[in-house]
Amino acid sequence: MLDFSILIKHKEQFLAGLTTTVQVSLLALLLSIVIGIIVAVMKISPIKIVKALATVYTEVIQNTPLIIQIFFFYFGLGAMGIQLDAFVSGVFGLAVYSGAYIAEAIRAGIQSISQGQVEAGRASGLTYIQTMRYIILPQAIKVVIPPLGSQFLNLVMGSAILGSISGKDLMYYADIISSKTAVVFDVYIFVALFYLILTLPLSFFISYLERKFSASN
């Protein structure tokens, strides 16, 4: 039987951790979408060096653990004299990590748009960037909304790693509470429930979007 007195007694810490988790996740999502769009456009650029840089970024990020990237911003930059707090390090680490996957989703969305629309945009006098901004990206974003939602789910769950750098998220406070009370199982069950409160509604919304866009195609 779960000891709900722990939840009541430490509700302020649980709520503080939940608030930080939501804030970090939302900020990281917004930044990762910006990164993803930029990198996706770079990956299909006709300029080879630009395309190569984007490819190197996605390959490096996708093939290294998230915790290494978080540590780079928190410890690595600190060693170089650029000190970021745990919150900012978490946002940047999650955004850079998720941005690589979002870039691939957006790139696939862009490439699903007829090449003829790109040629029409260029023929009308638009630059490559203007063609992407006004013609291609608005259509591509609509296509990749469901994958973006799935990535946000992964991002929320990935935010639990902030506890490793004292990020004051749910896992951070769970570690503190469990060490003070010597109750481990109940505390982490409560944390799991908080994550479910965050992710289940989003998961249902993503499923709704997938059905909606599938029906419209």
**Per-residue pLDDT tens over the stretch 23-76:** 999 999 999 999 998 999 899 888 899 999 999 999 999 999 999 999 999 999
Distances, alpha carbon 42 to alpha carbons 45, 60, 143, in Å: 5, 16, 19
Half-sphere exposure in the Cβ direction for 161 (13 Å, CA): 21
> What is the number of structural domains in the chain?
1
Cα-Cα-Cα-Cα dihedral sign, residues 144, 37, 129, 59: negative
Residue 3 forms part of a structural domain: no
Closest of 108, 97, 90 to residue 44, by C-alpha: 108
Does residue 155 belong to any structural domain of this protein?
A: yes
User: Would residue 148 count as lying in a domain?
Assistant: yes
**Which residue, among 161, 115, 169, has the nearest Cα to 139 in the 3D structure?**
115
pLDDT score recorded for residue 145: 77
Tens of pLDDT along 154-208? 899 899 988 888 889 999 999 999 998 888 999 999 999 999 999 998 888 888 8
**Per-residue pLDDT at 134:** 78
- Asked whether residue 8 is assigned to any structural domain, the reply reads no
- CATH label of the domain that carries residue 51: 1.10.3720.10
Domain limits for position 180? 20-216
Q: Is residue 169 part of a domain?
A: yes
